[in-house]
Amino acid sequence: MALRNIREDGDEILRKISKPVTEINESIEILLDDMYETMKNEGVGLAAPQVGILKRVIVIDVGEGVLELINPEIISQEGEQIAVEGCLSIPGVFGEVRRPDKVTVEGLNRKGQKVIIEGEALLARVLCHEIDHLNGILFKDKVIKFIEPEGKRRR
Ligand code: ZN
């Protein structure tokens, strides 16, 4: 496994639409492994364009084990939640984003098997955030209110 460089806001690759994976081969498996390695101590999710690969691949770990999804699609959503988000591609920026409270996402695992994930609360939010990356959307586009980091907050 290897760490990959995380692309940061301003890099135009983050604004492109990622392509569906048509064949799950060794390079996809390596990508999944590397994405997990790159994310694991830093965040709760990562999308392939964040490491410069325009493929519809995401990796998530909200503390319940790693979740790998290829070609993920939101097939249903309900409710609403507002919570603070950040992004490994936009260091130091945090803000409140409105998301569905529950989502059902369909995709493929690394064996090419169809998986259906039902996410609530944090998991729903992360699924939406990562799938947005595959469509060139960043969380800051959706922020209702930016939160100043502690160090910069005025007294
Ligand atoms: Zn992000």
CATH of the domain at 133: 3.90.45.10
Q: Known catalytic residue: 130?
A: yes
Residue 152 lies in a domain: no
Cα 89 to ligand 1 centroid, rounded to whole Å? 6
Query: Where is pLDDT greater, at 149 or 31?
Result: 31
Q: What is the pTM of this model?
A: 0.95
Higher-pLDDT residue of 149, 1: 1
Q: What is the pLDDT of residues 78-129, one digit of tens each?
A: 999 999 999 999 999 999 999 999 999 999 999 999 999 999 999 999 999 9
Residue 154 within any structural domain of the chain: no
Q: Which residues surround ligand 1, an ion (CB under 5 A)?
A: 87
Indicate which residue of 64, 73, 130, 150 is catalytic. Answer: 130
Domain that holds residue 138: 12-147
Q: Which of 10-14, 17-21, 149-153 has the lowest mean pLDDT?
A: 149-153
User: How high is the pLDDT of residue 25?
Assistant: 97
- Count of domains in the chain? 1
* 34-89 pLDDT tens trace: 999 999 988 999 999 999 999 999 999 999 999 999 999 999 999 999 999 999 99
Give backbone dihedrals phi and psi of 42, rounded to 5 degrees, phi first. -110, -35
Report the separation in Å between the CA atom of 20 and the middle of ligand 1, taken as the mean of its atom positions. 19
Residues 6+ apart with CB under 8 A from 73: 105, 106, 107, 131
Q: How far is the CA of 144 from the centre of ligand 1 (A)?
A: 16
Amino acid at site 52: G
Report how far ligand 1's centroid is from the alpha carbon of 129 (Å): 6
Within a domain: residue 39?
yes
Residue 1 domain-assigned (yes or no): no
CA of 128 to the centre of ligand 1 (A): 10
- Is residue 68 within 8 A of residue 49, CB to CB? The reply is no
Is residue 7, in this structure, part of any structural domain at all?
Answer: no
Residue of 98, 97, 95 whose CA lies nearest to 147: 95
43 found inside a domain: yes
Residue 106 lies in a domain: yes
With DSSP H G I counted as helix, E B as strand and the rest as coil, what are the percentages for the chain, rounded to 5?
A: 30, 35, 40
95 assigned to some structural domain = yes
Confidence at residue 149, expressed as pLDDT on a 0 to 100 scale: 72
For 83, the 3-state DSSP assignment is strand
